[in-house]
Structure 1
Amino acid sequence: MDKGSLIRTVVLIVALINQFLVVFGKSPLPVENELIEQLISAGFTFVASIVAWFRNNYVTTKGDLQKKVLQSQGLLK
């Protein structure tokens, strides 16, 4: 696993743990207002999920070309 993938995976895991803590009423962030805390947590999880999905999938034209090259070299199924 390359450095970028590792960082994205760790950030996503932290975001999901944070989200679960908020759901169960634990306060991982020092915010007084519960609604603000939930919005921050949900936003963090959303951004981390989108970045991890986008970077690990072939969703752009460049990514599609990369996938074709990898397949032609037998490096991808």
Structure 2
Amino acid sequence: MQDNRRTEANILGYQLDRVEGASQWATRYEVLGPEDNNVIASFPDRPSAERFILLRELRGCAPGIRNPAY
């Protein structure tokens, strides 16, 4: 069986694809990375996939360990 893949959105460089399987219940959303377009995560619904993208980018912006100023 072959899956039907359709790009739903590009969010912050990540590609969000809707993948439909043989049955109507086999729909999932896959997130492809911005660097090499490999699948980095798969989710049963779109809001979860979008949340993953945003949280992954926010983690990259989080400040590192701060040294106290003396």
Q: TM-score range by the shorter chain?
A: 0.3 to 0.5
**Structure with more strand by fraction:** 2
Instruction: Report the structure number with the largest CA radius of gyration.
Output: 1
The one of the two structures with greater contact order (alpha-carbon pairs below 8 A, sep at least 6) is 1
